[in-house]
């Protein structure tokens, strides 16, 4: 298995631009998570999908952030408009059931200038 796939690996954009991060979970996993990692706040859960349905989006910072999971093999996290404080590494993770080990992707390093 290729593991969790994220793209792009690096993204540099200017403040105000729209950013879309992509994730392909491991086939057969029914749970998908988006996390954000910063030095100041560590790893934070942004949103959790189960069977393609958003279950918990309480970690989404504000309305500028949105996430979708149109099918079991694809999810996006969109930031519009982006701000410098959104600069972070964004991880996607998937798990078989949601309550067991999570498999993380390599992350997308986002820099907003």
Partner 1 sequence: SQQGEEDPQALSIQEGENATMNCSYKTSINNLQWYRQNSGRGLVHLILIRSNEREKHSGRLRVTLDTSKKSSSLLITASRAADTASYFCATDNDYKLSFGAGTTVTVRA
Among residues 4, 67, 77, 112, the one that binds partner 1 under rule CB under 8 A: 4
Among the listed ranges 17-25, 44-52, 67-75, 76-84, the one in contact with partner 1 (CB under 8 A) is 44-52
Residue 58, C-beta contacts closer than 8 angstroms, at least 6 positions apart:
none
**How many residues are recorded in the chain?**
113
Strand partners, 59: none
Does the footprint of partner 1 cover residue 93 (CB under 8 A)? Answer: yes
Among residues 12, 15, 43, 113, the one that binds partner 1 under rule CB under 8 A: 43
User: How many chain residues are in contact with partner 1, going by CB under 8 A?
Assistant: 22
Largest CA distance in the chain: 38
């Amino acid at each position: 298995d290729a593991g969790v796939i994220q793209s792009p690996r690096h993204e540099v954009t200017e403040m105000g631009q729209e950013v879309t991060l992509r994730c392909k979970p491991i086939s057969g996993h029914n749970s998908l998570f988006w996390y954000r990692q910063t030095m100041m706040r560590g790893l934070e859960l942004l949103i959790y999908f189960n069977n393609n349905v958003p279950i918990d989006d309480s970690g989404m910072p504000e309305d500028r952030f949105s996430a979708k999971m149109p099918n079991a093999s694809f999810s996006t996290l969109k930031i519009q408009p982006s701000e410098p404080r959104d600069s972070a590494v964004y991880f996607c993770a998937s798990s078989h059931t949601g309550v067991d080990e999570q498999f993380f992707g390599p992350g997308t390093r986002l820099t907003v200038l």
